[in-house]
Homo-oligomer: A and B are copies of this chain.
Amino acid sequence: MIAEILSTGEEIRCGAVVDTNAAHIARRLEEMGVAVRRHLCVGDGLDAISRALAEMGTRADLVVVTGGLGPTQDDRTAQAAAAAAGVACTMNTAALDAMEAFFNNRGRPMTDANRKQARLPQGADWLANPVGTAPGFRLTMGECRFYFLPGVPREMRRMLETAVLPDLEKRLGQPRSVGRTRTLVTFGLTESATGEQLDGFGSLFPDLGIGFQIRFPEILVRIHGRDGSADRLESRLDEAARWACDRLGERVVSLTGASMAEVVGGLLRGHGATLAMAESCTGGLMAHWLTEVPGSSDYFRFSGVVYANAAKTAVLGVPETILARFGAVSQETARTMAEGARRVAGTDWGLATTGIAGPGGGSAEKPVGTVCIGLAGPHGVDAFRHHFPFGDRDMNKRVFAVTALDRLRRSLLLR
């Protein structure tokens, strides 16, 4: 079965926004054993969309379309689909009922613009959108089945799982080969150095594939395969993942795609331990990552985002003499910040960052990219100093935060 993907929208066409939907859809289809041949992107013009649909219908068995299902005047995908199919748009009562229920549940009024969204091409099957108002739909033209989904990534992803993939599953039937991917999250090597550590993978596992992706500063290693037996494939992927872990050692953060913050949270929970932090250069990013994980209040108590020196002293009790003698960016300050956070919040662990994210603030002795990390625990306190060469504020904040969390992760692994 050959699939194509169509992304619509002016913001994507003119490059204001990077299209992440196409990659997500391609990955999920490929995992199911559907070959994706092309992605195409056009703007929001009626002609541009309907022409693209007509072309794709002559080449593919399956097309997934995103975008242009919203309530505003630039949302023209339903009309374009109707034009391509040579039918009219009519009010779809199932879609309208679902939208009315959605608005009632939220106590919000439904507008005429919203009502317009329920007008679908004749012959289209409505697809429920559990997380938004834009209804999706399915439409067959000739030999090709089209699925129309909203462009908002969260809504698109949900509907792909609930409406598109189960429908495809039925259509594909059994038996057929399954595709699976194992995602190793790693930290501490560059992409090319990670690849070199895993040289020889191809000859040891000729039946599997391997790919690398930068989710800065983490490097994801994806091991993927396809087999008629899911059990056989899983055990083969286990074997390959074990081999990769042996080569990469402690640099492997998780075997499940879980992020550094999720892994650190899981370790704290496993130890029944609590954490407080003091963040200068990471500016709240570590706390934000930790509190993205549901249930994090079980182990995360406090982070003092102490941008000003006065706050370091007032909130964490960092002595002014330390700041004056060693400077705010120093291992000595990082150490007292970690101890202060731990003491103030009464936790088992205290983790602190102080550094220079840039673009300003660097010096010959402490250039942009310098970070000092303090880690206070049940058995004492340590401090570390690193320098990273990225010269970019956002990258520095991220690599500082992951490096600090990695120090805590490694300490928790030893216990």
Residues of A in contact with B (beta carbons under 8 Å apart): 9-20, 22-30, 36-44, 48, 52, 70-74, 105-108, 111, 113-114, 131, 133, 152, 154, 179, 181, 183, 190-196, 201-202, 209-214, 216, 220, 222, 224, 276-277, 279, 283-288, 290-292, 294-297, 300-308, 310-311, 314-315, 344-346, 358-360, 389, 392-394, 397
Instruction: Note all chain B residues with C-beta closer than 8 A to A286.
Output: 284
CA separation between A291 and B288, bound complex, in Å?
12
The 4 closest A-B pairs by CB, nearest first: A283-B291, A284-B287, A15-B26, A15-B27
CA separation between A25 and B358, bound complex, in Å?
28
Instruction: Note all chain B residues with C-beta closer than 8 A to A359.
Output: 294
CB within 8 A of A15: which of B11, B23, B214, B310?
B23
- Minimum distance in angstroms from A203 CB to a CB of chain B: 11
CA separation between A202 and B76, bound complex, in Å?
15
CA separation between A195 and B75, bound complex, in Å?
11
Beyond A37-B48, A39-B40, 13 additional pairs, beta carbon < 8 A: A14-B30, A14-B36, A14-B181, A16-B211, A17-B213, A38-B48, A113-B196, A154-B216, A284-B287, A285-B288, A288-B288, A314-B346, A315-B344
B308 touches A345 (CB 8 A): yes
Instruction: Note all chain B residues with C-beta closer than 8 A to A30.
Output: 14-15
A283 touches B294 (CB 8 A): no
B311 touches A212 (CB 8 A): no
- Minimum distance in angstroms from A113 CB to a CB of chain B: 5
Given A212-B70, A308-B302, CB of A192 within 8 Å of CB of B27: no
CA separation between A113 and B197, bound complex, in Å?
11
B71 touches A191 (CB 8 A): yes
A211 touches B315 (CB 8 A): no
A38 touches B36 (CB 8 A): no
- Minimum distance in angstroms from A84 CB to a CB of chain B: 16
- Minimum distance in angstroms from A325 CB to a CB of chain B: 21
